[in-house]
């Protein structure tokens, strides 16, 4: 911790309390809105970008939450991320590495649509081919 911060356990206690009350997410959303406004954009995004990345999991990661990504030959987890066109986070979902991009998109896009009503376009790479959602 920086020297001008309180003891780490006090800082962590505040963080836990804020997370439990949803303040961490609220802070993130407000900051994203301010950055978008400063860039001359509407506070609410109308387009997004979805992608994923597989990462090796440490031996301490439970086998239940790991999977094998045959394409990248990695035993671990996959983080699925949706950002706005400025690269600011809209959603993150961590799964076992064997969960395909298409499966994750089927779960994430309806939730994205409920949180960000103005989104009408999401760019994706070839891993998302086929019919995902209407």
**Does the residue 134 lie in any domain?**
no
74 within 8 A of 55, measured Cβ to Cβ: yes
pLDDT in tens, the chain (134 residues): 788 999 999 999 999 999 899 998 899 999 999 999 999 999 999 999 999 999 998 888 888 888 988 888 888 999 999 999 999 999 999 999 999 999 999 999 999 999 999 999 999 988 887 776 55
Could you give the 3-state DSSP secondary structure of residue 127? helix
Residues 99 and 121 in one domain: yes
> How far is 97 from 99, CA to CA, in rounded Å?
6
Give the Å distances, CA to CA, from 94 to 12, 41, 54, 81, 130.
23, 29, 10, 9, 22
Q: How much is the pLDDT for 132? A: 64
pLDDT value of residue 127: 80
Count of domains in the chain? 2
Is 133 part of a structural domain of the chain? no
Q: Residue 111 belongs to what domain range?
A: 44-128
pTM score > 0.75 for this model? yes
């Amino acid at each position: 911790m920086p020297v001008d911060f309180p003891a780490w356990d006090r800082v962590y206690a505040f963080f836990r309390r804020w997370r439990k009350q949803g303040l961490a997410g609220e802070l993130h959303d407000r900051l994203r809105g301010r950055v978008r406004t400063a860039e001359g954009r509407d506070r609410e995004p109308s387009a997004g970008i979805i992608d994923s990345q597989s990462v090796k999991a440490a031996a301490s990661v439970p086998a239940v939450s790991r999977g094998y990504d045959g394409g990248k030959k990695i035993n671990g987890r996959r983080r699925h991320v949706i950002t706005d066109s400025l690269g600011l986070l809209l959603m993150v979902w961590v799964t076992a590495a064997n969960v395909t991009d298409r499966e994750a998109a089927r779960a994430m896009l309806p939730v994205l649509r409920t949180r960000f009503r103005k989104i009408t376009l999401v760019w994706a790479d070839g891993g998302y081919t086929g019919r995902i959602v209407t």
